[in-house]
Amino acid sequence: MQQIPPTISTARTTAPPQRAEPAHPGTPSAPSRTEPPASAEPPGKPSARTAGADPTRDPWWDNARYVSATLIVVLHTIGSVMERHESLQAFHVATWALRVPLFVVLAGVFSAAAPLDAHRLRGIVRSIALPAALFSLLYSLEMVALGNEFKLHVTQLPWTLWFLMSLICWRLLLPVVVLLRYPLAVTSVVALAAGYVDELGLAFSASRTVVYLPLFLIGWRIGQGSLRGWFTARWTLPVAVAALAGGTLVGWLGHDRVKGTWTSMRHPYTSADTLGLYGAWVIRLLVLAGAVALVLCLLRVVPRRRIPFVSALGAGGFTIYLLHPLVILPVRETGWIARANTPAELAGLVLCAVTLTAVLGSRPVRRLVRPLTRPPVGWLFAPTERRAA
């Protein structure tokens, strides 16, 4: 099963200005501050249409987060029965770019390329590393409760948590990558060449970290104000709608020709690839370029205004991402999901996934699990005075 995976205010007419490092990785759910920790929400300009909402949040990004989070939860819910139904396989391929690639780009938007200091490193530990460790442990304990042996995951985090391991690496690499003369070109070449290195695999999420680094960098550039013309010009909206519809349709109709290794980004190239071992990089280039194009189109189409229900739930994207595997896992392992077979049952399964997204993204749930998603770290780090000594 594929593992999947984090906006501009209505008052703005240009792309967002340069930001500090955001409070939740990729899909932050905490409001922004003047000097946020490792992944907080950047402040947006409140307008009349956002009256009553949190003025520190920009609904554009929250709306995009909700789209990505919902698609991820739906995919993970139907994943165990996908092989039996061609329509689900088509959905999987047609929406791939709006899951992992979109999540990676959004993570880059809310990242900072300033030199790492003690404050930022502490934030990365609190908002990414500790939640990854805690939810990995919860996953192992849940597997024990389901009758499996306890397994401690260290080099290969379970299921969706690979994203957090990669995010730690992206955050640490970004200040170095932006020093390059041509950072996007260099990271793209490395991403394409990674398929020829057998050692880059599932361990430490090494392959995905390298392959998705260019998308993370593109997200960071968007956060610095790049592509403002694309996001604001009127003529780009119909182009984005047409391209998004066309790309989704092509993915739907041609899903049976798309190999799982093309989108998983986890394994090295092989001679069995369509273009052979030495032409496999071309396929990866086309897949990544297509994903970036569809992500940019979606961001252009997503409304910038606050949308009731959608924007509020999108603010809990990080919580949704961390919690949904713990809910889906027991239902899947006990065979309940596998019982879905008829179109009506599959539609009900998708509806359950959408409902689960709404519940996990709600404010009461976010508050309840905040000790897990934003654990206290005062006990872990020495006081500031002692660190400076």
Distance from the Cα of residue 113 to its chain's centroid: 19
The β-bridge partners of 23 are 39, 40
CA distance 14 to 9: 10
> How confident is the model at residue 387, as a pLDDT?
47
Spell out the alpha helix ranges (H) of 114-205: 118-124, 130-145, 162-177, 183-193
> How confident is the model at residue 13, as a pLDDT?
37
> How confident is the model at residue 52, as a pLDDT?
41
Question: Are residues 206 and 165 in contact, defined by beta-carbon separation less than 8 angstroms?
Answer: no
CA distance 68 to 66: 5
pLDDT along the chain (389 residues), means of 10: 39 40 42 34 37 68 96 96 93 95 95 90 94 96 94 91 96 96 97 94 93 98 95 96 96 93 92 91 96 97 95 95 96 94 95 97 96 90 62
Q: What are the C-alpha distances in Å from 133 to residues 76, 150, 263? A: 21, 15, 26
> How confident is the model at residue 41, as a pLDDT?
38
> How confident is the model at residue 385, as a pLDDT?
56
> How confident is the model at residue 384, as a pLDDT?
66
> How confident is the model at residue 57, as a pLDDT?
84
